[in-house]
């Protein structure tokens, strides 16, 4: 940290205005405990306000393993995120403002200014505009413009996904968030780098036709012509599905059956009974299904596990699935109850339009 550096206790901050830390940072453990929005094993996201009533999100990284400590000692994720955001904003790419980051040993924090009246693009696409053709066209056009900015500025970003893009509730604007590992190239982007930037389009496969995707890619300027745009689309889809089959699903499949919550489902405990409840396709929690929204079927443990697992694999690959299981109840007496969506509304509430 060279410029705008302030020391607060054991923390060193690189920040444009140290009043952004007042008063919450002096009591951040209590604030973090009370206002945490999302928590993982080594990361917590919480919301704060400074003395001027400006609202921020704070991402607090606390490495837990020896490997994580070593990585954090030599390469701070907060600093990387801060520098990536600066790169995007200087290039004219609409990105959330990250005014500062701090470090204490291997712990780090980064501050981002709240962008009001927004929702992440994954939720916007699957919940807000699934049946509004005009807003869907506007969304694809805005996304095409965003991807085009990256291409024209020769900037790559491996983690550009729908969850890392915010959309105004009226669909008028987009903003990139969490732009880790963004880099500027001196020459035109390679084909693989272009394909990586197309991931937000690929996440909508099954919801948009190949023709619509090809047109959006062509309009972004990332392709040379319509044939190249079509080839890029199909190569990007193949890459995504290969990665799911070979990497993501093998590494994460156990998470939908173990006694833990994650982006795909959550765990509800009722005494010694364990209920796995499906999340929406935009990773929000659904209420516990009951007889009004679902049909309960008793199965063997092997049958229940297969139906549950196969449904998530189909979801990730955007494949058709006969019936959507909303929950899987594993009772202490060995009984297994799987609940399936009973109505069109209960299916659409998950984000599946099959």
CB 164, CB 181: distance < 8 Å: no
Residue 251 burial by Cβ neighbours in a 10 Å radius (0-12, 13-18, 19+): exposed
CB burial readout 290-307, b (16+ within 10 A) else e:
eeebbeeeebeeeebbeb
Q: CA of 308: how far to CAs of 284, 291, 303, 321, in Å?
A: 18, 19, 9, 11
Contact status, residue 331 vs residue 321, Cβ threshold 8 Å: no
**Rounded Cα–Cα distance for residues 173 and 146 (Å):** 10
CB 221 within 8 A of CB 151: yes
Judged by DSSP in three states, 229 sits in: helix
> Could you give all domains of the chain from N- to C-terminal order, each with its CATH number?
5-113 (3.30.200.20), 118-252 (1.10.510.10), 257-348 (no CATH)
pLDDT tens track, the chain, 354 positions:
446 899 999 999 999 999 999 999 999 999 999 999 998 888 999 999 999 999 999 999 998 777 776 776 667 889 999 999 999 999 999 999 999 999 999 999 999 999 999 999 999 999 999 989 999 999 999 999 999 999 999 999 989 999 999 999 999 999 999 998 899 999 999 999 999 999 999 999 989 999 999 999 999 999 999 999 999 999 999 999 999 999 999 988 888 888 678 889 999 998 999 999 999 999 999 999 999 889 999 999 999 999 999 999 999 999 988 888 999 999 999 999 999 988 877 887 788 765
Element (H, E) at 33: helix 28-35
* Closest residue by Cα to residue 15 from 5, 25, 23: 5
DSSP 8-state symbol, 51: T
Q: What is the pLDDT of residue 69?
A: 63
317: its two tokens = 């690959």
Distance linking the first and last C-alpha atoms of the chain: 52
| Cα–Cα distance, 286 to 128 (Å, whole number) | 16
pLDDT reported for residue 15: 96
Distances (CA, A) of 199 to 16, 22, 102, 156: 33, 39, 31, 12
Q: What pLDDT does residue 1 have?
A: 43
Would you state the pLDDT for residue 73?
A: 66
Predicted model pTM: 0.92
The pLDDT of residue 137 is 95
Sheet containing strand 5-8, edge to edge, reads 5-8, 11-15, 100-104, 107-113, 55-61, 43-49, 36-39
Closest CA to 112 of 153, 166, 56: 56
The pair of three-digit structure tokens given for residue 351, joined into one six-digit string = 């984000």
């Amino acid at each position: 940290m060279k410029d705008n550096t302030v020391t607060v206790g054991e923390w060193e901050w690189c920040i444009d205005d140290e009043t952004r830390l007042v008063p919450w940072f002096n009591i951040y453990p209590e604030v973090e405990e009370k206002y945490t929005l999302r928590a993982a094993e080594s990361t917590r996201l919480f919301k704060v306000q400074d003395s001027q009533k400006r609202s921020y999100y704070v991402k607090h990284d606390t490495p837990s393993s020896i490997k994580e400590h070593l990585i954090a000692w030599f390469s701070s994720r907060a600093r990387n995120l801060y520098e990536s955001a600066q790169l995007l904003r200087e290039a004219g790419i609409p990105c959330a403002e990250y005014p500062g980051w701090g470090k204490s040993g291997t712990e780090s924090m980064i501050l981002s200014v709240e962008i009001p009246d927004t929702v992440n693009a994954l939720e916007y696409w699957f919940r807000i505009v699934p049946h509004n053709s005009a807003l869907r066209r506007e969304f694809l056009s805005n996304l095409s413009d965003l991807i085009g900015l990256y291409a024209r500025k020769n900037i790559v970003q491996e983690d550009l996904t729908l969850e890392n893009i915010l959309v105004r509730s009226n669909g008028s604007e987009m903003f990139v968030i969490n732009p880790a590992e963004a880099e500027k190239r001196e020459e035109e982007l390679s084909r693989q780098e272009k394909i990586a930037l197309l991931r937000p389009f690929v996440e909508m496969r099954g919801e948009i036709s190949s023709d619509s995707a090809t047109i959006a890619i062509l309009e972004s300027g990332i392709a040379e012509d319509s044939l190249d745009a079509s080839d890029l689309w199909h190569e990007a889809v193949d890459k995504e599905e290969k990665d799911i089959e070979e990497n993501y699903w093998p590494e994460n499949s156990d998470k939908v059956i173990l006694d833990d919550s994650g982006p795909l489902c959550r765990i509800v405990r009722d005494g010694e009974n364990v209920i796995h409840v499906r999340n929406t396709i935009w990773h929000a929690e659904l209420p516990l299904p009951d007889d009004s929204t679902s049909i309960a079927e008793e199965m063997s443990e092997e049958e229940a596990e297969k139906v549950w697992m196969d449904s998530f694999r189909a979801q990730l690959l955007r494949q058709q699935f006969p019936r959507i299981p909303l929950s899987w109840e594993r009772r202490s007496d060995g009984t297994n109850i799987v609940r399936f969506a009973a109505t069109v509304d209960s299916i659409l509430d998950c984000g599946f339009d099959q």
